[in-house]
Chains A and B, each alone.
Chain A
Amino acid sequence: MDAWWQCEIPYPYVDKRITDAADSVRASLPNRLCDPRIAANLFHEVLDEFALCDELGMNVLCIEHHAGINSLIGSNPMITGILARQTRNVRVLSLGTLISLRPDPVRVAEEYATADCLLRGRFEIGFVKSGGTEVASSNMQPVNNEERFWEAIDLIKKTLTSHDGPFSWEGKHYTHRHVNIWPGPYQQPHPRMWAATGDPRSAAEVGRRGMTHVLVLRGPEGTKKAYEAHRTARREAGLPKVTTDNFAYAAMVYVGETEEEGIEGGTKLLWFLNTSLKSAPQYNKFLPGAAPPQAAPGLYRTMPRAEAGLALTDAEKGVAPASQNAQKLMGLTAQEAMQQGILFAGTPDSVHRQIMEFYDKVGGFGHLCLIGRSGYMTHEESKKGIRLFSKEVLPRLREVAPVEVG
């Protein structure tokens, strides 16, 4: 098993009275509440933490989110570019530029090819669907977000793998009549591709495309279901079996010297759930496309009906909408988060045991993505957690070899 460390670079330093009063901490919170001098310190601290990971042999990954206290990484390619130059040893995963929010996938492919060259092939490309508040801040149509997601991936892949002069693309969402990037990617035919998704329909598509499938904070049941949808789709399409290397899980992780220290660190990570998920109803439950129309009775009514109408699980996608997932996550304690498999925290032994228990519950995975710093966790605390994890837990995870799963 491989491990990938990340920090979303949240900005927690907004007065709680303001965040409590605001209907959303994303998309509409004024940026005068973000001091660029503090932002600068955060960027430098976290880049130093990425460099420490490189020194200790732990891979790194960089996300992207827009216009909110949850993350200052609005420009993934910039941070990825810095990591491309500042790391020397480990692999770098961009997870990733939010492609369905970017008008030109060819430009994204150009950025990724550049990163892969700078990294001399240590680069991996991840795709995330986005939605919610980011639709507002990016001005992009929410209903066919997923269509754009897949068409953009197709166009990026074609751009990265075409080497014989310009080609033309006239798709539903993107037209680009003269595609011919310089340079192409360092890795041939292209860097490994990942996708983060949980619903069964897109999980199946990730499976058919043979991408590395990452589930974020979904807990054992949702994760297992998505992995199974991935494998079933491959089986049904007559595609070869894959190994656990095709599966990844992202959780909050903190390792301390003692159980108490580990859980205290883990508790600090929960800021992400308790504070940064708050989003107004127009960005989640009423946003067109965020949930299928069949979910409307549960979303629109202020007083749920006893007979409940059409249950959310009966809805088109077979999953609760993002707003319901967020609601469940917002009030969690560390113990609950650990029980639900979205936080692994404690001593090295304890964290290793929690990870492997989760591994067994979901049928195995080859990559653990660590949400390793959040909220008010300090630079020193973060570095300590990285050191302990890299030295005490990672070597044991490396012993877990990929196995075929069908």
Chain B
Amino acid sequence: MPTETTPDRIAVHGIEVEVLRCGAGAPVLFLHGFQPAAPDARFLELLGRRLQVIAPSHPGFGNTPRPKDFESVYDLLHLYTQLIEALGHPRISLIGASFGGWLAAELALRMPSRIGRLVLVDALGIKVSDRETPDILDIFNVHPDTVRAATWHDPRNAPDYDAMEDAELIALHRSREALSLYGWHPYMHHPRLAYWLPAIKAPTQVLWGASDGIVKPGYGQAMARLILGARYAEIAAAGHHPEIEQPDAFADHVIGFLAR
């Protein structure tokens, strides 16, 4: 039976955070990457069949305001710590995709007694290779065609700017500004996070799009090796967004791990 995705707002420290809610069951917070989850995203509906999904838009993304000087991952981590407290579930699981994976890993370290399970999807946040080998494609400083090719297994899944409405394009660029503030320097990672990953207590599933060119599967494997007991799986025919390119396989993996 299809589940309905409904928009909502949760006030956290004076910030009206836009959230999508979907389904019923064990609570799970979905932390998005470069763009917030779309209200009609199939993966939300699929997850909602077995889980209670709460998908917020980070400040500056979607319709969530970004207060003046709210510009850092430090701010985001305080926001989500408060939001998790406000939701009130004794335990909640986290799905962190891309940039949101960095936040999810940090939150699992900060709130070990509140975070049930952790799913990291093509997650950013750590430094793996040597100092002259970038792990994460610089989406701001390389040609947009290169970024598109690296992001999608099938480039036809990329957003079509010509087909998008003004408001959607404005929101897209606003998200890009916010992402730039949060992740410009050091680029999309914290130099010390890899050191702390082994301290994550939550059972962890690392999922990776086999064709991801933003962060390659080898990065995901390294991340999984750093988290004790973490499981690693690749999703075929998917790039940086397996939740969009292969929503069914994605949901099967997530539900298999979270709802068993």
Contacts and interface: CB of A to CB of B under 8 A. Distances in A.
Contacts of A324: none
B166 interface: yes
Given A141-B184, A282-B143, A302 B162 contact: yes
Nearest to B179: A288
B169 A300 contact: yes
Contacts of B180: 141-143, 288-289
A358 B144 CA distance: 40
A309 B166 contact: yes
Interface stretch (B10-18, B35-43, B170-178, B200-208): B170-178
A151 B164 CA distance: 38
Contacts of B172: 296, 300
A141 B176 CA distance: 12
Interface string A6-23: 000000000000000001
B35 to A, nearest CB: 13
Contact of A293 (B144, B162, B174): B174
A23 B144 CA distance: 11
Interface band, chain B: 20 to 34
Interface in A277-302: 280-283, 286-289, 291, 293-297, 299-302
Contact of A281 (B144, B162, B170, B176): B144
B170 A293 contact: yes
Contacts of A296: 166, 169-170, 172-173
A286 B176 contact: yes
Nearest to A300: B161
A136 B173 CA distance: 18
B259 to A, nearest CB: 38
Contacts of A136: 140-141
A139 B180 CA distance: 12
Chain A interface secondary structure, helix, strand, loop or mixed? loop
Nearest to A310: B166
A141 B142 contact: no
B181 A141 contact: yes
Interface string A298-326: 01111100000110000000000000000
Contacts of B164: 300
A296 B144 CA distance: 15
A286 B172 CA distance: 11
Nearest to B142: A282
B192 interface: no
B177 A293 contact: yes
B222 to A, nearest CB: 25
Contacts of A286: 144, 176
Contacts of A172: 69
A404 B204 CA distance: 71
A287 B139 CA distance: 10
Contacts of B166: 296-297, 309-310
B71 interface: yes
Given A144-B181, A309-B166, A288 B69 contact: no
25 contacts: A139-B185, A140-B185, A141-B184, A142-B140, A142-B180, A143-B184, A281-B143, A282-B142, A282-B147, A293-B170, A293-B174, A295-B173, A296-B170, A296-B172, A296-B173, A297-B166, A300-B164, A300-B169, A300-B172, A301-B162, A301-B169, A302-B161, A302-B162, A309-B166, A310-B166
Interface of A: 23, 136, 139-144, 172, 280-283, 286-289, 291, 293-297, 299-303, 309-310
Query: Which 6 A-B pairs have CB atoms at the shortest separation, nearest pair first?
Result: A288-B180, A296-B173, A309-B166, A300-B161, A296-B169, A293-B174
Given A288-B180, A293-B174, A310-B170, 11 more contacts: A139-B185, A141-B180, A282-B141, A282-B142, A287-B140, A289-B177, A289-B180, A293-B171, A296-B170, A297-B169, A301-B161
